[in-house]
C-alpha cells in the first residue's frame, strides 16, 4: 500500500508535466504551421487557434 502511494505520488505529477509539455509542443507546431500558411486538415481548424 505504501509503495503504491509513493509510486502514484511520483507518477501522477510527472505524467501531468509530460502531458503539459506535449500540449505546449502541439501548440508550437500548430502556430508554426499557421504562420507559414501550410495547408492543414480540418482537424486543426477545429481547435479554433487558426483563422483559415
Give pLDDT, residue 23: 94
Decide if 27 is inside a domain: yes
How much is the pLDDT for 12?
74
Amino acid 37: pLDDT: 58
Is 52 part of a structural domain of the chain? no
Over residues 32-44, the mean pLDDT reads: 61
Cα–Cα distance for residue pair 26/19, rounded to 1 Å: 10
Q: What is the mean pLDDT of residues 14-41?
A: 79
Residue 49 falls inside a structural domain = no
Please report whether residue 14 resides in a domain: yes
What integer pLDDT is reported at residue 11 of this predicted model? 73
Per-residue pLDDT at 34 exceeds 60: yes
Neighbouring residues of 52: CB distance < 8 A, sequence distance ≥ 6: 34, 40, 44, 45
The pLDDT-based confidence of 32 (bands split at 50, 70, 90) is confident
Q: State how many domains the chain has.
A: 1
Amino acid at each position: 500500500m505504501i509503495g503504491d502511494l509513493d509510486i502514484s505520488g511520483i507518477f501522477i505529477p510527472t505524467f501531468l508535466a509530460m502531458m503539459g509539455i506535449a500540449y505546449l509542443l502541439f501548440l508550437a507546431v500548430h502556430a508554426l504551421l499557421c504562420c507559414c500558411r501550410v495547408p492543414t486538415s480540418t482537424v486543426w481548424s477545429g481547435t479554433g487557434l487558426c483563422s483559415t
